[in-house]
């Protein structure tokens, strides 16, 4: 394991990064008395791929869930594509048309077929004609290599297949930004690869992605930047090479030791 991580990983080819598309400024959040996010500042450029690392409970999920307002924050500001993420219904609708999230436990709708899962939002929220929505859905199902399962129900699919469907569902509204919250943590080891392959493909196409994951290989291969969070703070961030090979803070050194030698 240790020797493997020392070798130079193969990097994907990337397009140049664009304008800032996500901006977090001094974001603070509390759960009751518990200060879960502390002065978070983060700017992500269009096309950038950010991987978030950190021990359990450090606030990684909470941070990315604030970006599409699955969680509220009490102080600071978050902007997506220049739109303030706040209580305003119109803003929220716009923000969510630019961002979607892929969850650890897939969260597919079990009462709908795969195809219905994919066309639900395009038809009802984005008012696409049904035929067009179906074509888009099939296009993305093919992209995640699962077109042959279109008429099944989620529970009839393996975990890896379900997660690929969840990614395709998120893609159907063509968001610029994808948030991934430990997309492979609930999967059996042999299925992790198939999901990561899809994510790499998206990275190559220039999607903006923030990914919370423990997959170091993925971080090394595609990340433009790796962020280390601990106790609600961003403690350190760097390009993957430097991040893994020359960590500066003691907390990150300790964390890397723990995950690389477990």
Residues that bind Mg ion (CB under 5 A): 61
- Characterise 15 by phi-psi region: left (phi > 0), alpha (psi -120 to 50), beta (else): beta
d(CA 132, CA 154): 22
Count of CB atoms within 10 A of residue 25's CB? 14
Residue 156 binds another protein (CB under 8 A): yes
Region from 94-102, 129-137, 197-205, 231-239 binding another protein, contact rule CB under 8 A:
94-102
Phi and psi at residue 67, in whole multiples of 5°? Answer: -65, -35
Q: What are the backbone dihedrals phi and psi of residue 222, each rounded to the nearest 5 degrees, phi first?
A: -120, -20
Judged by CB, which is closer to ligand ATP: 72, or 88? 72
Residues 6 or more apart whose CB falls under 8 angstroms from that of 118 comprise: 133, 136, 137, 140, 141, 165, 168, 169, 172
- State how far the Cα of 191 lies from the Cα of 181, in Å rounded to an integer: 17
**Which residue bears the tokens 């299925």?**
191
Q: Does 5 bind another protein (CB under 8 A)?
A: no
36: partner contacted, choices Mg ion, another protein, ligand ATP, none (Cβ within 5-8 A by kind): ligand ATP
Query: Pick from 109, 214, 239, 260: which binds another protein (CB under 8 A)?
Result: 109
Could you tell which of Mg ion, another protein, ligand ATP, none binds residue 93, using a CB distance below 5 to 8 A set by kind? another protein
Member of 85, 108, 191, 195 binding another protein (CB under 8 A): 108
**Least CB distance to another protein at residue 108 (A):** 7
Is 96 a binder of another protein (CB under 8 A)? yes
Task: Report the residue number, 173 or 220, with the smaller CB distance to another protein.
Answer: 173
- Of the CA atoms within 13 Å of residue 154, those in its CB half-sphere come to 19
The interface partner of residue 62, options being another protein, Mg ion, ligand ATP, none and the CB cut-off 5 to 8 Å by kind, is: ligand ATP
- How many helices (H) and strands (E) are present in the chain, helices listed first? 10, 10
By CB under 6 A, name the binding residues for ligand ATP: 31, 34, 36, 54, 56-62
Nearer to ligand ATP, 4 or 249 (CB): 249
Query: In the chain, what is the straight-line distance between the N-terminal and C-terminal CA atoms, in Å?
Result: 10
Contact 48, 211 (CB under 8 A): no
Can you give the binding site for another protein, defined by CB under 8 A?
Answer: 68-70, 93, 96-97, 99-101, 103, 105, 107-111, 120-121, 124-126, 153-156, 169-170, 173
């Amino acid at each position: 394991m240790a020797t493997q991580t020392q070798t130079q990983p193969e990097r994907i080819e990337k397009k140049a990064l664009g304008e800032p598309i996500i901006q977090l400024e001094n974001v603070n959040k509390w759960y009751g008395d518990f200060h879960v996010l502390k002065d978070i500042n983060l700017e992500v450029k269009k096309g950038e791929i950010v991987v978030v690392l950190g021990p359990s409970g450090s606030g990684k999920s909470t941070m990315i869930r604030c970006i599409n307002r699955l969680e509220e924050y009490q102080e600071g500001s978050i902007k997506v594509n220049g739109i303030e993420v706040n209580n305003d219904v119109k803003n929220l609708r716009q923000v969510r048309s630019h961002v979607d999230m892929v969850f650890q436990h897939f969260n597919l709708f079990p009462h709908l077929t795969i195809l219905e899962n994919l066309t639900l939002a395009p038809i009802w929220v984005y008012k696409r004609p049904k035929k067009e929505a179906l074509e888009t859905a099939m296009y993305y199902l093919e992209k995640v290599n699962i077109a042959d399962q279109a008429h099944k129900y989620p529970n009839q699919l393996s975990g890896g297949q379900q997660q690929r469907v969840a990614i395709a569902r998120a893609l159907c509204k063509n968001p610029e930004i994808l948030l991934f919250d430990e997309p492979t943590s609930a999967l059996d080891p042999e299925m992790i690869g198939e999901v990561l392959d899809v994510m790499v493909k998206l990275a190559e196409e220039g999607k903006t992605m923030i990914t919370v994951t423990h997959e170091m290989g993925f971080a090394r291969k595609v990340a433009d930047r790796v962020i280390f969070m601990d106790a609600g703070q961003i403690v350190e961030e760097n390009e993957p090479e430097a991040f893994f090979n020359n960590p500066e803070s003691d907390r990150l050194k300790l964390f890397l030791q723990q995950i690389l030698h477990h």
